[in-house]
Structure formats: structure tokens, C-alpha cells
Amino acid sequence: MIPERIGLFFGSFNPIHIGHMMLANYMVEFTDLHKVWFIVSPHNPLKEKKSLLQDHHRLDMVIKAIDDDPRFEVSDIEFRMPQPSYTIDTLTRLSERHPNTAFSMICGTDSLENIHKWKNHEMLMQNYRLLVYPRSGFTGGQHLKHPSVQLVDAPEIEISSSFIRRAVSVGKNISYFMPPKAFEYMTLMHFYE
């Protein structure tokens, strides 16, 4: 039996935007992945928490963004784990729960350059494939040649959640920068204004 190949797309998704969706779409259509799971992180240990919207609101926006697309799923597994959340702990737990699934981690060259700062990064790279997409200004560093790293020729996407938050805070209409249902929810709730 061939294991199901799932790409794990970790992020704060604060908020989710079309760049995230385009990347997930690329990964499921142009690699060997069957699906992409969005793993909504309560707190990235390498980022500040103060600008973070509440967990359930970010989760709701991702749910609305992926809508009923069967290629995508969303997971709140990290909401029930000790914080801050560490990727290796989440991967280990998911692998225990889904023993017949081959998980790959989706990350950018910026994350790959800093992966040596992550908890148990050697174990992560030894046990999981990393599908790495290009980010402007980052080469991936010393880990790019690691046998578990697969560089994916995805288009470079320059939209960021911080850009969305800044634009909303000064009253700009960014409706085309977000999936429609996520944008509607954000607007209805007056997030980031």
C-alpha cells in the first residue's frame, strides 16, 4: 500500500492570504503530494506573540480560505500541545497518529537558512523530507545540499501577512490579496484595523 503523501504547511496565518493559497496549490499540483495540511501555529518560538490574533480567529480564517477544496485540510493540533510549539514535536505526534502517512514539511529558503536554530533540527531533517520554496533574498544556506531537502521551483510570492496587517491598519482595501471568505470574516470582525 502506497502511503498518502501529505505536505505540512506550518504558519501563524496572521492572516492567511493568497500567497499562502498559491503556494499550497503549487505544492499539491506540481509535486508528488496528495494533499496539503495547513498547521495553524499558536506561537512560533522565533516570533513575537503580541501582534498575533487569537488562535481560533486565525484558524477560522484558514477554514474559510480552504473552503471545501478536497486538496487542503486545516489542523489545530498545536493548540493542544505545550507552547511555544516546536515543529519536531508536532511532526512526531502526527506521525504517531497517522503511521501510514508520509509527511513532508513545506518551508521557504528563509526558514531553511535558520533551521539550525530549531529544536532537534537534525532529527527533523533525518526523518522528514523538506519541500523548500524560494524566498527573495534567501538561498537556503548550508542546509540546501542536505539529502532530505528538495528545492521546489515555485513562483516567488512577495505578499506577507505583515503587509496585509499594515495595509488594513491604514484603511486600505486589500480584498484581492486574501481568499474572499477569509477577507469577509476579517472585515466583519474588524481585525487589524
- What are the tens digits of pLDDT across the range 81-97? 988 889 999 999 999 99
Mean pLDDT rounded to a whole number for the chain? 94
How many whole angstroms separate alpha carbon 110 and alpha carbon 87?
A: 16
94 within a domain of the structure (yes/no): yes
Q: Assign residue 139 the CATH number of its domain.
A: 3.40.50.620
82 within a domain of the structure (yes/no): yes
40 within a domain of the structure (yes/no): yes
176 within a domain of the structure (yes/no): no
* Residue ranges making up the domain that contains 57: 4-158
169 within a domain of the structure (yes/no): no
Are the C-beta atoms of residues 135 and 108 closer than 8 Å to each other? yes
- What are the tens digits of pLDDT across the range 3-58? 899 999 999 999 999 999 999 999 999 999 999 999 999 876 656 666 789 999 99
Q: How confident is the model at residue 181 (pLDDT cuts 50, 70, 90)?
A: very high
Number of domains present in the structure of the chain? 1
Are the C-beta atoms of residues 21 and 65 closer than 8 Å to each other? yes
184 within a domain of the structure (yes/no): no
